[in-house]
Amino acid sequence: MKIRLGTFNLFQFVEPPYAWYTKKEKFTQEQWFEKTTWIKNQILKMDCDIIGFQEVFSRDALEILVKELGFNYFETIDTAKLSKKTYTSTTVAIASKYPITKMQRVRVHIPSFEKHDFKGHYSLARVPVKASITLPNEQKLLVYVSHLKSNRLNEYEYLFNESHGLDHKQEVVKKALEGTSATSLQQRLCEASSLFYNMKKIKNKPIVLLCDLNDKEFSLTIDALSNPKYHQGKSEEEPLLYDASYQYKEEIHNPHPEQKEAKRKATSYFLARGHVLDYIFISNEFNKDNEDRIAQVTKYTVFDEHLQKDKDGSLLKSDHAQVVCELTFI
């Protein structure tokens, strides 16, 4: 059996006559029709069984849209705040073709906020979805959907690569975290830590996380989300989660002798520079190196055609690529 899971940042999914953040920011009926038509076509291209959505303001409109496409199960865990026909907050959602048997709220992990010396109210920018789904083979799958704290435009960006270890990354950002120049990163680390501890309590149930991390490949946020050593010092434990992108390598037939390995596709652009912000993470039950795995990644696809035409994206489409992971059960 195969299942396909995707993550889709909808980019201001607000049904008219409602607005987002300011009363001037809203779609006309014609623009809304164009946007929702594109979203429907994109979902059909993704060909998923389960999709996690970010930037969901108009919950009911999205539920109607996905149910028209065969997703009979749709849930949110939070409600976008509305003031005089203007939304002031956003949520995440999940759509599934298979039964969602249980929904739970991910809570703030208070010790993590205290450890990071977080100033202000302990909260998650968007409350994650935590859904238990029963697959056709009777396998229970726990699917999280998250959208971590956005980066401020004036906040310094930390760029790491695969050669940088955890100690190096922590040392680089230490001073910034002690001051006020990385408050968004500080909250992301607290949110990622809250997810880590929520997942760590789960025993004998496979996990998939569909997310817009608002942070880059090799970032410290990913360590906070998946690396026990980040939380426990010299821990020798295996990672809690694995980036599904590294679990699959596209086979190239008749490669050119000088051909370089393909770079990972960006999922979002800022000032024409591409970054990976959208991810699918999997637990050890799907890890290709685990002899006792129940399934493995057999496809990993980034749908970025609209960004190739316009790197800034479009309000009538999205400013993010969509990511899809296929799992084949053994």
For the chain, which domains are there?
Answer: 2-329 (3.60.10.10)
- 170-205 per-position pLDDT tens digit: 998 888 888 777 889 999 999 999 999 999 999 889
> Which is nearest to 205 in space by CA: 294, 119, 72, 92?
294
| Percentage of the chain lying above the pLDDT 90 cut | 82
pLDDT at residue 315 greater than cutoff 80: yes
* CA separation for the pair 155, 144 (Å, rounded): 28
Name the percent of the chain in helix, strand, coil, to the closest 5: 25, 30, 45
239 upstream amide cis, omega within 30 of 0: no
Query: What is the rounded average pLDDT of the residues 212-228?
Result: 96
pLDDT tens, residue by residue, 277-309: 999 999 999 999 999 999 999 999 999 999 999
Would you say the pTM of this structure is higher than 0.85? yes
CB 199, CB 255: distance < 8 Å: no
**Structure confidence at residue 258 (pLDDT):** 54
Longest dimension (CA), the chain: 62
How far is the C-alpha of 104 from the C-alpha of 98, rounded, in Å? 17
Query: Which residues have a Cβ under 8 Å from the Cβ of 231 and sit 6 or more positions away?
Result: 112, 193, 196, 197, 224
